Amino acid sequence: MRTVRNALIGLIVSGVLAGVIVSCGGGGGGYGSSGGSTTPMYSVGGTLSGATGTVVLKLNGGSDMTVSNGPFNFPSAVAYTSPYNVQVVDANDRCTVSPTGAGLMGTTNITNVAVTCAAQAAETVIRSARLDGAQANTMATGIGQGGVIVNPTTRAITGGITFSGLTGAPLGGGGGAHIQRANGSIAVGLTMASDNATGMVLNNIALSPADYAELLAGTLYFNVHTVANPGGEIRGQINVQGGVVASLAPLDNTQEVPASQSTATGNGTVIVDAAPHDAATQNHTVLITYIAHNVSNASAAHIHTSVKTTPPTCAGGSTCNGPVILGFPTLQTNVDGAGTNIAYPAAGSPMSAQNLTDFSANYLYFNVHSTNVLCPNPSPPPAPPLVACGGGEIRGNIAVQ
């Protein structure tokens, strides 16, 4: 399984990612040299619209370019079959990047990336980040990635980070990782998972109005603390828009098919890189995902696809049950002393291209399974009416936000 080191959000740097390459025009590309061989290189461009001022566009986490409304073209080129991901930093607007802004480079220049900005309104706020030692002013070589999902009305925030390569485990006692303000004070504490590679915002706590304003302005940042670097070993500004697919899904008994009799509830968070991390697998890196829930006696948790291709088949949707696409092997109980249980996968877990297609079609769902006798018996009478919830006690259908 790929580590976080190979899957930084938007920072998928191929050995053949060029410096400045001038396109030959007419859909052609330039060429770069690597080890004596030549590799076709192609440019990435498009149009920015709706911004109230200048914005910073990023290509694969770098090549920062300050632009105004109108056409743009990155001076750096991308090699054939290498990933590319266009993202934007704009403190004044909510911006989206069209699906053409992420993918694997083909044999022509990309010219139709649409970056569209407008005033933030009732849309869900999604921001991502990459973490490294440079932003923390340390010599640390660890790296990380993550993001947040925020309700603009209630200011409820969920999200988190995954990371690797630290000099040691994050500090204990609640001091391991935080979301911090521009002045360095703590806005939100992250709950550290037992893998020492995952930090989560639990229970959809609400940002203060001032902290929400900092989020929109891009001045909040993730910070991970260790014994060697107690002030922060790696950090990352939470200011990047676009380039990810994200969802927050509430879980309950009514979404199970058929419904269970459970009274438990939960919330699932998932943020996935919109660009595949390599041409060979075409897998996409999960930046952060977890389920926070209060199911007792939980036996398993997963993300499933509702598309089922074996009989009885199902085309997908909230009335379909389907196979597991991502297992959450780690189940921790009462992580906050208030009865919150969590489930999560290994840091840097992948989703396939088909998984991401299903995600974009709203065909994925979170599922928490248990040994509790609260689920309908699929067998006909005179079998007992209820059985253990091995097929799922609570479920949350995932919709792109």
Residue 32 pLDDT class (50, 70, 90 cuts) = low
Of 360, 350, 365, which Cα lies nearest the Cα of 398?
A: 365
Which of 62, 93, 118 terminates a domain? The answer is 118
> Do 141 and 61 fall into the same domain?
no
**Residue range 328-336: mean pLDDT, rounded:** 96
Percent of the chain scoring above 70 in pLDDT: 91
pLDDT at 16 over 50: no
> Do 94 and 164 fall into the same domain?
no
Under 8 Å between Cβ of 23 and 109 = yes
Residues 6+ apart with CB under 8 A from 358: 305, 306, 307, 316, 325, 364
> Do 111 and 143 fall into the same domain?
no
> Do 272 and 342 fall into the same domain?
yes
Query: Using one digit for the tens of pLDDT, what is the confidence trace for 195-254?
Result: 999 999 997 799 999 999 999 999 999 999 999 999 999 999 999 999 999 999 999 999
pLDDT at 357 over 50: yes
Which of 76, 99, 118 terminates a domain? The answer is 118
Opening angle at CA 212, ends 208 and 213, nearest 5: 120
> Do 102 and 208 fall into the same domain?
no
Structure tokens at 144: 């990380």
Q: Provide the residue range defining the domain that includes 141.
A: 125-237
Quote the number of domains for the chain.
3
> Do 140 and 280 fall into the same domain?
no
pLDDT at residue number 6: 42
> Do 312 and 270 fall into the same domain?
yes
> Do 298 and 199 fall into the same domain?
no
